[in-house]
Amino acid sequence: MGMLDGKVAIVTGAGHGIGRGHALELAKHGAKIVINDLGGSVKGEGVGRDADLTVEIIKARGGEAVANYGDVSDYEASGQMIAQAIDAFGRLDILVNNAGIVRDGSIFNMTPEDFDAVIKVHLRGTWAPCKHAAVHWRNVNKETGEKVNGRIINTVSGAGLTGNFGQTNYAPAKAAIASLTQTLSLELYKMGVTVNAVGPAAATRITGTMPNAPAVIEADEVPEDEWNRMDPSVSSPLVAWLASDEADHVTGQIIRAVAENIILMKGWADGPTINNNSKRWDATKLGQQLATDVFFTRAPGLRY
Ligand SMILES: NC(=O)c1ccc[n+]([C@@H]2O[C@H](COP(=O)([O-])OP(=O)(O)OC[C@H]3O[C@@H](n4cnc5c(N)ncnc54)[C@H](O)[C@@H]3O)[C@@H](O)[C@H]2O)c1
């Protein structure tokens, strides 16, 4: 008995890399999968049938999968993807939003088109499938009067959580996905849907664009019993667990799975605070107050 037997999942961007790793892991535990992939380049140019290879691997291993070639950031196409899961397998339980592209460059070199393209694929390409899945689950919830036990697992990145030189498009897109995850978790938990995000790290086409990157690994190339810290499926067991019934109490969490470590991320939290005692702040005195009571640095005017 697999921990995901009877479940139906969609994994976006599952033609390669981390998405393929997630799809193989979910299938291993018994889920039937829609393998989405637009099949373009790592910069998001062109289209292809890359989803087919992951479908073939799953079928060869005895699982069930169908391909979807849609662009996740296209609102209509992402709606068709949700509908396809229901048509092909009769239900939807798990949505893993993983598709992504990169167009790195310092802000001096980044074009508005590179900014828009990356924000669109990551943020809109996560929001749109979430929206269609949420509407579907709300309809099921209304029809049955029961909680739907749905799962959304989004994909963030260390770059988005702490910033990264040369990624003023990608990092804010990933930070926004963390915020989307937390906000959606508030909206959907009442009807039994959890929403979490995983931050992976692996040697994929995306990291392959960086200087001195390790050679690209595909998830099916690493034998199951072999540990490789850059294997694209390093974070996939965490995704499978978050997708399972066991994790029905975990929502709104941002969790990184990097090499040997699984790390619960703690985000913005209140720090040192000053209070104005209901009197307007005085800008000429604020620097001194902030220096001594908030930043714990030297007062303004002193040389560092
Ligand atoms: N590789 C890492 O170290 C790392 C670290 C943190 C986060 N991530 C994130 O993991 C996810 C997977 O990336 P990867 O490293 O496996 O790269 P990858 O290029 O191997 O996989 C991304 C897949 O998404 C697909 N895709 C791109 N745009 C799409 C669209 N509009 N619609 C549907 N599919 C689309 C691509 O065709 C590709 O197969 C991304 O969201 C990425 O930002 C990766």
For residues 157 and 257, what is the distance between their CA atoms, to the nearest angstrom? Answer: 10
Question: Residue 302 above 60 pLDDT?
Answer: no
Which residue's alpha carbon is at the smallest distance from atom 37 of ligand 1? 39
Among 69, 120, 170, 236, the active-site one is 170
Question: Residue 75 above 80 pLDDT?
Answer: yes
| Alpha-carbon distances, residue 234 vs 13, 122, 126, 172, 238 (angstroms) | 16, 21, 21, 24, 8
Alpha-helix residue ranges (DSSP H) falling in the chain: 17-28, 51-60, 75-89, 112-119, 125-144, 158-162, 170-188, 236-243, 283-290
- Counting from 1 in the atom list of ligand 1, the atom nearest the Cα of 41 is 37
Specify whether 170 is catalytic: yes
Q: Which residue from 161, 222, 284 is spatially nearest to 20, judged by alpha carbons?
A: 222
Ligand 1 centre distance from Cα of residue 261 (Å): 21
Ligand 1 centre distance from Cα of residue 5 (Å): 26
For the segment 145-158, what is each residue's pLDDT rounded down to a tens digit?
Answer: 999 999 999 999 99
For residues 98 and 22, what is the distance between their CA atoms, to the nearest angstrom? Answer: 9
Ligand 1 centre distance from Cα of residue 147 (Å): 31
Q: How does the average pLDDT of the chain come out, rounded? A: 96
For the segment 227-264, what is each residue's pLDDT rounded down to a tens digit?
Answer: 999 999 999 999 999 999 999 999 999 999 999 999 99
Q: Which residue from 42, 172, 174 is spatially nearest to 103, judged by alpha carbons?
A: 42
Taken in order of first residue, the domains within the chain and their CATH numbers are 8-264 (3.40.50.720), 270-304 (no CATH)
Predicted local distance difference test score (pLDDT) of residue 211: 86
Predicted local distance difference test score (pLDDT) of residue 304: 45
Residue type, 86: I
- pTM reported for the whole predicted model: 0.96
In this prediction, residues 8-29 reach a mean pLDDT of: 98
Which residues in 149-176 are b (16+ Cβ under 10 Å) and which e?
bbbbbbbbbbbbbeeeebbbbbbbbbbb
Predicted local distance difference test score (pLDDT) of residue 224: 86
Q: Is 36 in the pocket of ligand 1 (CB under 6 A)?
A: yes
Residues in CB range of 173: below 8 A, 6 or more apart: 118, 119, 122, 123, 160
Q: Which residue from 92, 83, 97 is spatially nearest to 125, judged by alpha carbons?
A: 97
Q: Is 204 in the pocket of ligand 1 (CB under 6 A)?
A: yes
Residue type, 90: G
Question: Residue 267 above 90 pLDDT?
Answer: no
Q: Is 63 in the pocket of ligand 1 (CB under 6 A)?
A: no
CB 197 within 8 A of CB 156: yes
- Counting from 1 in the atom list of ligand 1, the atom nearest the Cα of 158 is 6
Q: What length is written for the chain?
A: 304
Q: Quick one: pLDDT band at residue 266, thresholds 50, 70, 90? A: very high
For the segment 20-56, what is each residue's pLDDT rounded down to a tens digit?
Answer: 999 999 999 999 999 999 999 999 999 999 999 999 9
Predicted local distance difference test score (pLDDT) of residue 301: 62
For the segment 48-69, what is each residue's pLDDT rounded down to a tens digit?
Answer: 999 999 999 999 999 999 999 9
Ligand 1 centre distance from Cα of residue 114 (Å): 16
Predicted local distance difference test score (pLDDT) of residue 210: 87
Number of neighbouring beta carbons within 10 Å of residue 290: 16
Predicted local distance difference test score (pLDDT) of residue 285: 94
Q: Which of 36, 84, 118, 204 most suits a substitution to test ligand 1, by most atoms within 8 Å of the C-beta?
A: 204
Specify whether 106 is catalytic: no
Which residue's alpha carbon is at the smallest distance from atom 32 of ligand 1? 71
* Residue 140, SS3 per DSSP: helix
What is the share, in percent, of the chain residues with pLDDT greater than 70?
98
Predicted local distance difference test score (pLDDT) of residue 303: 53
Which residue's alpha carbon is at the smallest distance from atom 5 of ligand 1? 201
